[in-house]
């Protein structure tokens, strides 16, 4: 691929905070006109990478180019072609949405009239036009996010960075952000978005880079990654512990990989490719063998399971709560995590970078 | 999309001025959006003036004679400049913690604008505060007695003190960003403000405390402007009291000389 087709290219990017390594030779390549998902747990280095690419942070080593421009030596030029939407809605709470967008438009040197017109366009597009003089402090979380997104789009940037754009949003607001990203992509923009959610990367991204401990550990299209991970997982909970080996054997026949068995919760779980065929076949087998089933769950793999499948070890931080919903992750992770050793001491990565 | 999205041409200097003004304007719009907030801010020092002038003032005696309210007004003028540090600090730390500063830094605007805008907006606010206090003081019978020239010099010294507080505030805002530190600062300005000659002459205090009070930079400003306004002071024969005019310039200049480079360094270190 010619480097001119790349909207973002980083090579050997390194950044340390004291004795914590946030980026450890991070190589990212984002094709122009695509949505690129950077998938990883908290503390993997996603935010640090975005901060370097948006000229907010100087890397300790390596190079980073955005739209062909070096983010350190040509920072001023880079700022003319990027938009940034960070984790927090970075807008003035005491101003109205329109006042915010007009201020940012003036600071992009559009001139007062164009700044006003652009603010009007964006408010319309993000359904904020009827908020009037209401200050942002009275906006809902979803409205703030939309305003934040609008602020990042004032220049119609060639490359837009979205840092965990849906973290902490309710499902409706999340869908709105997703729609906006899809529209942007159709408009020809390049979008780099970081996320902790496999589902989000799957839904939005053309390509995905999986990042852990400051390095890219896997890359590919969502379909490629899923074929390595298994699209879905089936967990079977049996009534009698004695039936567990039979359930595991039945699972093994339909699963893409060996089942994980947890005697404590009487659960056997495994990734499957074709969810419906696998499920019906599994239930038939279990029924024929007289295994009494207490519960069956068909679900997406958690981020921890993705990491396990792609890297052979759990993500930087074990048993990540809320974000991934780790039901079943503990039995899956238990046995193999132990083999990881502790290069770099995974607990230290918890710090927000 | 019909709007032209290219940047207008212009020299760096032109955009530095324009961007600085855009950021200044942001505060002016805050005031227009929330006039009550602005008015409460202006009324607060007036309340202190009234409280000390009428509630406690009857029991106060100015050594060497003189009206206590005449003694008090210059003190409260300086106090209001010192309290301004809170506004600066809160504005800076809020922008940093909310990510607004980062958004500015990711934009192709003049890097100086954030600070220039903060300066101009806060100095406009300081001028409004002084104007409101002066009106209240005049209504209480306070006045300047040595002509308009020295009076303007006095206002100049007050604004200089505010400028010093501005740079201390910017630096603290960049260093301490948690909401708790905002509260700590809001509490801490009180002892610093009261450990001065604003409300009582140092010679009425225990010796060591009087010395501490005299070395409070704010006290130099208060002594100097009492002299410039022709309001009763307490004379005093310490070096600090004798050189109050000099120190009313030296202290703020020293603070700016220290905290301006520190703030610039801190701001640059946001990218480290």
Query: For the residues A254-259, what does the mean pLDDT come to?
Result: 78
Query: Which among A317, A286, A292 is positioned nearest to A303, based on CA atoms?
Result: A317
CA distances from A269 to A29, A252, A290 (A): 35, 9, 19
Asked if A207 and A30 touch (Cβ cutoff 8 Å), the reply is yes
Which of B10, B100, B272 has the CB atom closest to A90's CB atom?
B100
pLDDT in tens, B57-70: 878 878 777 889 99
Q: Residue A262 sits in a domain of what CATH number?
A: 3.30.70.100
Question: What token pair was written down for B84?
Answer: 């301004």
pLDDT above 80: residue B245: yes
The pLDDT of B143-148, averaged and rounded, is 94
Domain co-membership, A308 together with A220: no
Q: How far apart are CA A68 and CA A76, in angstroms?
A: 13
pTM score, whole prediction: 0.81
A87 touches chain B (CB under 8 A): yes
Which chain A residue has its CA at the smallest distance from B23's CA? A103
For residue A301, the 8-state DSSP code is P
The per-residue b/e assignment along B131-144, b for 16 or more CB within 10 angstroms, e otherwise, is ebbbebbeebebeb
Question: How close is the nearest chain A Cα to the Cα of B92, in Å?
Answer: 12
**A240/A2: higher pLDDT:** A240
Q: Tally the domains of chain A.
A: 2
Give B134's contacts (C-beta < 8 A, 6+ positions apart). Answer: B77
Q: Look at residue B1 and tell me if it is in a domain.
A: no
Q: How many CB atoms lie within 10 A of CB A78?
A: 24
What is the Cα–Cα distance from B211 to B271, expressed in whole angstroms?
A: 42
User: Does any CB of chain B come closer than 8 Å to the CB of residue A133?
Assistant: yes
Q: Tell me the chain A residues in contact with residue B23 when contact means C-beta distances shorter than 8 Å.
A: 107
Q: Is A153 found in the same domain as A30?
A: yes
**Whole-number percent of chain B with pLDDT over 90:** 66
**CB–CB contact B33 A94 (8 Å):** yes
Question: How far apart are the C-alpha atoms of A247 and A123, rounded to whole Å?
Answer: 55
The rounded distance, in Å, linking the Cα atoms of B19 and B239 is 45
Confidence band (pLDDT; 50, 70, 90) for A348? very low
* Interface pTM, i.e. ipTM: 0.90
Domain C-terminal end among A198, A226, A254: A226
- Total domains, chain B: 1
Identify whether the C-beta of residue A39 lies closer than 8 Å to the C-beta of residue A210: yes
Whole-angstrom Cα distance, residue B95 to residue B92?
5
Q: Residue A328: is its pLDDT beyond 60?
A: no
Instruction: Answer whether residue A9 is part of any domain.
Output: yes
Give the pLDDT of residue B60: 80
Facing B1 at nearest CB: one of A93, A106, A156: A156
How many CB atoms lie under 10 A from the CB of residue A137? 11
Query: Are A174 and A276 in the same domain?
Result: no
pLDDT at A230 over 70: no
* A121·B5 Cβ contact <8 A: no
Confidence of residue A313 (pLDDT cuts 50, 70, 90): low
Residue B162 sits in which domain range? 13-269
Total CB pairs under 8 A between chain A and B: 102
- For residues A119-133, one letter each, b for 16 or more C-beta atoms within 10 angstroms of the residue's C-beta and e for the rest, the string is bebbbebbebeebee
Domain enclosing residue A303, as ranges:
230-338
Record: contact B7-A133, CB cut-off 8 A: no
Among A56, A58, A106, the residue with its CB nearest the CB of B102 is A56
Of the candidates A56, A114, A151, the beta carbon closest to that of B4 is on: A114
DSSP B205: S
Q: What is the pLDDT of residue A329?
A: 34
Selected residue of A107, A119, A156, A157 to mutate for chain B interface (largest B Cβ count, 10 A): A107
């Amino acid at each position: 691929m010619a480097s001119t087709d790349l909207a973002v290219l980083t090579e050997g990017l390194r950044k340390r905070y004291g004795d914590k390594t946030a980026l450890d030779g991070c190589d990212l390549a984002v094709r122009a006109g695509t949505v690129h998902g950077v998938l990883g747990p908290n503390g993997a280095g996603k935010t640090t990478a975005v901060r370097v690419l948006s000229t907010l942070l100087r890397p300790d080593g390596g190079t980073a180019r955005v739209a062909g421009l070096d983010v350190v030596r040509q920072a001023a030029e880079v700022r003319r072609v990027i938009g940034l939407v960070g984790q927090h809605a970075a807008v003035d709470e005491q101003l109205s949405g329109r006042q915010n967008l007009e201020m940012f438009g003036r600071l992009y040197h559009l001139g007062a009239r164009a700044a006003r017109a652009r603010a009007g366009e964006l408010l319309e597009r993000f359904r904020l036009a009827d908020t009037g003089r209401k200050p942002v402090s009275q906006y809902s979380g979803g409205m703030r996010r939309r305003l934040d997104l609008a602020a990042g789009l004032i220049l119609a940037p060639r490359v837009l960075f979205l840092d965990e754009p849906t973290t902490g949003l309710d499902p409706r607001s999340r869908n709105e952000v997703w729609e906006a990203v899809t529209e942007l992509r159709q408009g020809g923009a390049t979008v780099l978005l970081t996320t902790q959610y496999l589902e989000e990367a799957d839904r939005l991204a053309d390509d995905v880079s999986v990042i852990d401990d400051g390095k890219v550990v896997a890359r590919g299209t969502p379909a490629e990654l899923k074929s390595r991970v298994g699209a879905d997982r089936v967990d079977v909970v049996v009534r009698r512990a004695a039936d567990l080996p039979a359930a595991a054997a039945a699972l093994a026949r339909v699963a893409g990989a060996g089942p994980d068995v947890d005697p404590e919760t009487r659960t056997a779980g495994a990734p499957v490719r074709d969810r419906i065929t696998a499920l019906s076949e599994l239930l038939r087998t279990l029924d024929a063998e007289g295994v009494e089933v207490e519960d069956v769950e068909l679900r997406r793999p958690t981020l921890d399971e993705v990491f396990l499948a792609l890297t052979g070890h759990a993500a930087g931080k074990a048993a990540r709560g809320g974000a991934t919903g780790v039901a079943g992750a503990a039995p899956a992770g238990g046995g193999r995590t132990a083999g990881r050793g502790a290069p770099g001491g995974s607990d230290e990565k918890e710090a927000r970078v | 999309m019909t709007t032209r999205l290219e940047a207008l041409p212009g020299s760096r200097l032109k955009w530095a001025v324009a961007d600085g003004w855009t950021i200044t304007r942001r505060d002016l719009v805050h005031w227009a959006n929330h006039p009550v907030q602005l008015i409460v801010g202006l009324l607060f020092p007036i309340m202190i003036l009234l409280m000390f002038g009428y509630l406690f003032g009857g029991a106060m005696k100015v050594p060497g004679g003189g009206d206590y309210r005449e003694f008090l007004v210059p003190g409260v003028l300086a106090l209001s400049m010192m309290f301004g540090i809170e506004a600066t600090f809160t504005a800076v730390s809020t922008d940093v913690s909310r990510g607004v500063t980062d958004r500015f830094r990711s934009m192709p605007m003049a890097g100086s604008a954030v600070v220039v805008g903060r300066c101009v907006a806060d100095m406009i606010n300081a001028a409004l505060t002084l104007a409101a206090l002066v009106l209240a003081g005049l209504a209480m019978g306070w006045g300047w007695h040595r002509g308009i020239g020295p009076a303007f010099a006095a206002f100049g010294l007050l604004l200089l003190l505010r400028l010093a507080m501005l740079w201390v505030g910017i630096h603290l805002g960049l260093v301490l960003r948690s909401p708790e530190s905002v509260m700590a600062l809001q509490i801490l300005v009180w002892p610093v403000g009261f450990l001065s000659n604003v409300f009582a002459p140092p010679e009425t205090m225990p010796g060591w405390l009087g010395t501490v009070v005299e070395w409070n930079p704010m006290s130099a400003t208060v002594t100097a402007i009492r002299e410039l306004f022709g309001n009763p002071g307490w004379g005093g024969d310490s070096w600090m009291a004798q050189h109050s005019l000099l120190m009313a310039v030296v202290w703020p200049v020293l603070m700016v000389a220290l905290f301006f480079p520190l703030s610039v360094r801190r701001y640059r270190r946001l990218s480290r």
